[in-house]
Structure 1
């Protein structure tokens, strides 16, 4: 299986926004999570890998292929599900998938029929195959997106923010499809949803303001902050004072009162209690430290 090697990739848009700053990543087969807040540079990196935009500098290699110069060869091996994709609302899933399969080079009608049927089953859309895509729910459209991304048995699959807006049942269904696919291909999951990465990915990177802040496995990343995360329930009026005194990495409400998590090398006292670290603590501590 080919590795994807991204080396010193940079991109500045014409409006002056530096979307990527010397990004380097080594990605092998399986599920790879690219985690970062909105505007971190994730989509810019995904579009570059998907041959849709040129970087200003750096290189991207898929095995022996140069992604930046051998675009057509790369596209034959690529499945891409962008953050927002359009469907023809008055065409059925079966007909559109068949049409897209032709564009992907599946010209044998019998073989194409079998591939389309198998993908509709895999994405749990076979029963709704005759239904027009305009009548599909958000989750069904996302599953159709994965079906088209899997045409022609790609070696590299990129999915950009795939579970935003899905209900829990749809999210689980989507995860199961991705996991199955990740056994035989490189799957890059670009998301701001920490749970998706924790549940699915063996390797990950955190990106913010166009820079890579961390790479490794989710378990290793959690281990690094274990014993350094403390929590406390406070009053809303105290929040600003705590933020001045401590490295508050996250806050949420519990029965109307803020619960804060702080990062601290030693016991901070003041009624803080140690908590089992989560991947969200790793994520917020890195993003906080990058402010």
Structure 2
């Protein structure tokens, strides 16, 4: 099964055009949607999750018209939004059992088997009887995935799932997402480049509501190989470099500013070659798009 998005557009009542003719084909497996805050990622996710209407375009999931057959989509959808509430005094076991009942699993024995399986898979079995209000951020995120998996969804959407997690929780969450993505379409929306690089075989970069790049992360990185140069500069020197060169990113290191420049040739002898990575691709696409808008 594949998810096909064609010419999808959305403008809000305040005039903000959140999506501008988005075209994507998303196969089974982990698909990364990368972009800065305000790029349109959440708008796209909410539209795919049937939580808001699109103005134009089509979306199909296999034979299902996502924009018209919302009930069919919801039957096979798992959704973990960026922020979601929990009933703080209810245990994860009780809450998952309740959600399973709402999703039409009427057999008590079937619900029991399902809930126990999900709690084990998400490493929450040992805290199954504790109230959700006592859970850490990472535990709440794993609970969110558990509830999203009820009903064996064919499409799972997770929006900024690792924001605020400590390194150990991020690793656990990555492993869980990778396991889920083996046989399901999983869309991971984030602004964390490393998450996409570690997890996804396919991805897209979105900026100001438009898809500015898409493909395999390794192939996208290959496109800028040999074109990334770096140099440590004083902070006050930065504006002059930005005026003369395509500075795609800056990093503060040991009190100095390290700039990354995109150029087919070494800008001058003071620059050294830098091994290109997905972060360079991301910043190159975003800065190029922003410069086009401001020109």
Do Structure 1 and Structure 2 share a fold, with TM-score over 0.5? yes
Shift of 1:106: 1.2
- Normalising by structure 2, we get a TM-score of 0.98
Shift of 1:270: 4.3
Tell whether 2:18 aligns with 1:19.
yes
Rounded Cα–Cα distance in structure 2 between residues aligned with 1:105 and 1:225: 50
Correspondence for 1:183? 182
Correspondence for 1:5? 4
Q: Deviations over 1:56-76 (max 9, x none)?
A: 000000000000111111111
Please list, as runs of the form range in 1=range in 2, the aligned pairs for 1:261-280 lying within 5 A after superposition: 261-280=260-279
SS at match of 1:197: helix
Please list, as runs of the form range in 1=range in 2, the aligned pairs for 1:94-173 lying within 5 A after superposition: 94-173=93-172
SS at match of 2:237: helix
Correspondence for 1:29? 28
Correspondence for 1:253? 252
Rounded Cα–Cα distance in structure 2 between residues aligned with 1:38 and 1:214: 17
Aligned structure 1 segments of 4 or more residues deviating by more than 2 angstroms: none
User: Unaligned 5+ residue runs, structure 2?
Assistant: 291-295
Shift of 1:267: 1.5
Please list, as runs of the form range in 1=range in 2, the aligned pairs for 1:199-278 lying within 5 A after superposition: 199-278=198-277
Correspondence for 1:40? 39
Rounded Cα–Cα distance in structure 2 between residues aligned with 1:187 and 1:199: 14
Rounded Cα–Cα distance in structure 2 between residues aligned with 1:241 and 1:174: 42
Please list, as runs of the form range in 1=range in 2, the aligned pairs for 1:57-76 lying within 5 A after superposition: 57-76=56-75
Rounded Cα–Cα distance in structure 2 between residues aligned with 1:184 and 1:105: 23
Shift of 1:265: 1.1
SS at match of 1:290: helix
SS at match of 2:270: coil
Rounded Cα–Cα distance in structure 1 between residues aligned with 2:106 and 2:178: 28
Shift of 1:105: 1.4
Correspondence for 2:289? 290
RMSD after superposition: 0.6
Q: Deviations over 1:89-129 (max 9, x none)?
A: 01001000110111111111101101100100111000000
Rounded Cα–Cα distance in structure 1 between residues aligned with 2:67 and 2:282: 31
Please list, as runs of the form range in 1=range in 2, the aligned pairs for 1:46-57 lying within 5 A after superposition: 46-57=45-56
Shift of 1:237: 1.0
SS at match of 1:225: coil
Q: Deviations over 1:253-280 (max 9, x none)?
A: 1111100001001111140101110100
Aligned residues: 290
- Normalising by structure 1, we get a TM-score of 0.99
